[in-house]
Chains A and B, each alone.
Chain A
Amino acid sequence: MASESKNKTREIQIKEKVYTTIPFGSQHVALPEPIKFIFDTENEIVKEIKFDIAYVHRGIEKALTTMFDFRKAPYVVGRVCGICSAAHTIPCAVVMERAIGIDREIPDRAKAIRMIALEINRLQSHFLINGHLAEVCGYENVFMHIWRDREMIMDLADMLFGNRVQYDVVCVGGVNRDIPKDKERVLLDKLNEIEKSVEFMEKIFTKDRTLVSRLKGLGVVSKEMALEYGIVGPMARASGVKTDCRVEDDWGLYKDLGFEMVTMEEGDSLARCLVRVRECYESIRIIREAIKSTEEGEISIKVTANPKYEAVCRNEAPRGELFYYVKGTGGIMPDRVRIRTPTLANIPILPEVMKDVSYNDIPPLLMSFDPCIACTGR
């Protein structure tokens, strides 16, 4: 008798609609980076979401026009974000070269080393976010496996460029350290090992029942929606939009090395994850080709002039299109610098996608969009 009445009260409770507002952040123990969410929920279903992203504004754009001269700019913007440090330094150097008018004189070897730095950066970023995605799904074992393999890539960067996180290898006019022959050999050996761990990752994300059933069909973004909201990077490519700045604005040798774009049609969280995994193969291939195609030689040219033109550079960061704009006036510091980060383009679609999703599906859905809050705050 007693259990029956208990069941009845539970049924009544479930039938009733309970509206709750859940504030989350800006500083929260569970958040790796400061972002503020306000979830309006009906029972367990999220109905409305608000964001606040400018909690960690550091004024780097202003600093570039008032404190640091253009030669120091790549080192400064490397500190915008720890995960995509090389992805920031390269377009900054390229845009300064374009503003000076020397971007066509950069030696091929320098371009190849820039490409290697960017692709190593992309590999470690994709490993990081896929591990995180497994973790928020409650699959900590995979998280530890992927992050253990990521350590290999970090050590590779340490060996080549002298630091695990901040490569600082790119300067205006080229790069500032070459990759000698013996290191090239170690790099090629390590790439084989990394390829094996990418294969492991692909196997997990395509065959493992737990992850596939958790992520399949979650947060579907159709191709029309992706085009309408203008999302960028692997998130757009997972919805079938063919966009990649490595092809569209080629500052390196991507066209010469035959770059192939990875796209998928599904547009759900699993597809976004798998696009990232398959891009790792492409990155490994590009590093191999870049080493093969160039020989040791001149790595930088002397920069004598100041930036005097207006210039733009678009670079494919691990999270999508990264945009740099510089307006030079012939002085040692540019007149205006603008940085538009990929996460800023990917945020407007989030409230649309997260609507009518169960509250416990929000973490994997958010992680599949790969938000980088430090970049967005700048």
Chain B
Amino acid sequence: MLKMFLTSVLNLFRKPATHLYPFEPYEPFEDYRGRIVWNEEKCTFCMRCEMVCPPGAIKIMIMEDDTKRWLWNPAQCIYCGECVRNCPFGALTQENQYSPPLDKSNKRDWSEIEREAERLKLLWRERLRKKSQAKKSS
């Protein structure tokens, strides 16, 4: 009984076990697997990251004028870090910060992007085939 009384009195002065989030900022651990950051200068668009990504959260678009775009969907990403480990040029890094929440400014129709990327890739392959045929004939 005395022990119980002492514990409850001492508990009045103890810190709570939970994190008082909005008042105390929460810092993730040093090696937390957070958002993926892409370095455009180092990237050669080898498509390795797109190939190894388990959920298909990375898409590379090859436009009709042969410019390329790297797209990443933070909502589909499982943050496993496979793309970062497999990048041969070190163009991808993983920060320890959480990815930003989706809102109107950064939300995109990912299924539309996937379809568009597939279509553009087919066109690109067709162009490559024609080029190589032209080379052969010349």
Residues of chain A at the chain B interface (Cβ within 8 Å): 68, 71-72, 75-76, 79, 148, 151, 155, 158-159, 162-163, 166, 168, 171, 176-177
Q: Which residues of chain B are within 8 angstroms of A72 by Cβ–Cβ distance?
A: 52, 54, 82
Q: Which residues of chain B are within 8 angstroms of A79 by Cβ–Cβ distance?
A: 78
| CA A71 to CA B86, docked complex, whole Å | 12
Q: Which residues of chain A are within 8 angstroms of B79 by Cβ–Cβ distance?
A: 163, 166, 168
In the complex, given contacts A158-B32, A176-B85, what are 9 additional A-B residue pairs having Cβ atoms less than 8 angstroms apart? Answer: A75-B54, A75-B80, A151-B17, A162-B32, A163-B33, A166-B79, A168-B78, A176-B81, A176-B82
A162 touches B29 (CB 8 A): yes
Interface flag for B112 (CB, 8 Å): no
Residues of chain B at the chain A interface (Cβ within 8 Å): 17, 28-33, 52, 54, 78-82, 85
Q: Which residue of A lies closest to B17 (CB)?
A: A148
Instruction: State which of A71, A166, A176 has its C-beta within 8 Å of the C-beta of B78.
Output: A166
Min CB distance, A143 to chain B, in Å? 13
| CA A75 to CA B17, docked complex, whole Å | 33
In the complex, the number of residue pairs spanning A and B with C-beta atoms less than 8 Å apart equals 41
| CA A177 to CA B33, docked complex, whole Å | 12
Q: Which residues of chain B are within 8 angstroms of A163 by Cβ–Cβ distance?
A: 32-33, 79
Min CB distance, A306 to chain B, in Å? 15
| CA A159 to CA B28, docked complex, whole Å | 9
Q: Which residues of chain A are within 8 angstroms of B33 by Cβ–Cβ distance?
A: 162-163, 168
Min CB distance, A120 to chain B, in Å? 15
Q: Which residues of chain B are within 8 angstroms of A162 by Cβ–Cβ distance?
A: 29, 31-33, 81
| CA A148 to CA B16, docked complex, whole Å | 11
Q: Which residue of A lies closest to B96 (CB)?
A: A162
Instruction: State which of B29, B30, B31, B54 has its C-beta within 8 Å of the C-beta of A76.
Output: B54
Instruction: State which of A158, A159, A168 has its C-beta within 8 Å of the C-beta of B80.
Output: A168
| CA A155 to CA B17, docked complex, whole Å | 13
Q: Which residue of A lies closest to B94 (CB)?
A: A162
| CA A159 to CA B17, docked complex, whole Å | 19
Q: Which residues of chain A are within 8 angstroms of B28 by Cβ–Cβ distance?
A: 158
Q: Which residues of chain A are within 8 angstroms of B82 by Cβ–Cβ distance?
A: 72, 75, 171, 176
Q: Which residues of chain B are within 8 angstroms of A76 by Cβ–Cβ distance?
A: 54
A-B contact pairs, 27 of them (CB 8 A): A68-B54, A72-B52, A72-B54, A72-B82, A75-B54, A148-B17, A158-B28, A158-B29, A159-B29, A159-B30, A159-B31, A162-B31, A162-B33, A162-B81, A163-B32, A163-B33, A163-B79, A166-B78, A166-B80, A168-B78, A168-B79, A168-B80, A168-B81, A171-B82, A176-B81, A176-B82, A177-B31
Q: Which residue of B lies closest to A149 (CB)?
A: B17
Min CB distance, A37 to chain B, in Å? 33
Q: Which residue of B lies closest to A147 (CB)?
A: B17
Min CB distance, A32 to chain B, in Å? 21
Min CB distance, A307 to chain B, in Å? 17
Min CB distance, B24 to chain A, in Å? 15
A159-B29, A162-B29, A163-B32 known; A75-B81 Cβ under 8 A: no
Q: Which residues of chain B are within 8 angstroms of A75 by Cβ–Cβ distance?
A: 54, 78, 80, 82
Q: Which residues of chain B are within 8 angstroms of A176 by Cβ–Cβ distance?
A: 81-82, 85
Min CB distance, B34 to chain A, in Å? 9
Min CB distance, B85 to chain A, in Å? 6
| CA A176 to CA B52, docked complex, whole Å | 14
| CA A68 to CA B55, docked complex, whole Å | 9
| CA A151 to CA B18, docked complex, whole Å | 10
Min CB distance, A201 to chain B, in Å? 16
Looking at A75, A148, A158, A163, the one whose CB has the most chain B CB atoms below 10 A away is A163
Q: Which residues of chain A are within 8 angstroms of B17 by Cβ–Cβ distance?
A: 148, 151
| CA A37 to CA B32, docked complex, whole Å | 40
| CA A90 to CA B51, docked complex, whole Å | 23
The 8 closest A-B pairs by CB, nearest first: A162-B33, A72-B54, A75-B54, A168-B80, A148-B17, A159-B29, A162-B31, A75-B80
Q: Which residues of chain A are within 8 angstroms of B80 by Cβ–Cβ distance?
A: 75, 166, 168
Min CB distance, B27 to chain A, in Å? 12
Min CB distance, A64 to chain B, in Å? 11
Q: Which residue of B lies closest to A71 (CB)?
A: B52
Q: Which residues of chain B are within 8 angstroms of A148 by Cβ–Cβ distance?
A: 17
Q: Which residue of A lies closest to B80 (CB)?
A: A168
